[in-house]
Amino acid sequence: EAQVTQNPRYLITVTGKKLTVTCSQNMNHEYMSWYRQDPGLGLRQIYYSMNVEVTDKGDVPEGYKVSRKEKRNFPLILESPSPNQTSLYFCASSPWGGDYEQYFGPGTRLTVT
């Protein structure tokens, strides 16, 4: 089954404790991206990657890191999480880029206390 997977689905952590949210897709897509979704603010892109070892900032990159060492994986790293990063996070992939349809993972609900 073609899909985007994320882990964990739910995470509660404390301020400053480094965490990684994994994302993997099995559709051989070139483009992958991370979004956060907050009430009243909608979906905002954090980082995107056009290919292996090619990443770039989205609209809200502060406080996040990403890497793309393999085509299928695109982990999101919060090195020192803060409460304002409490949000619902989605990973997405696309065969050609952000200008085309994207396929979203199931989401990760992160709470930072």
Partner 1 sequence: QKEVEQNSGPLSVPEGAIASLNCTYSDRGSQSFFWYRQYSGKSPELIMSIYSNGDKEDGRFTAQLNKASQYVSLLIRDSQPSDSATYLCAVSRGSYIPTFGRGTSLIVHP
Site for partner 1 contains 10 (CB under 8 A): no
CA–CA distance, 40 with 28 (Å, rounded to integer): 33
Site for partner 1 contains 105 (CB under 8 A): yes
SS3 of residue 84 by DSSP: helix
Nearer to partner 1, 6 or 85 (CB): 6
CA–CA distance, 79 with 41 (Å, rounded to integer): 24
SS3 of residue 28 by DSSP: coil
Total of chain residues touching partner 1, rule CB under 8 A: 24
Positions touching partner 1 (CB under 8 A) are: 31, 40-45, 48, 50, 56, 58-59, 90, 97-107
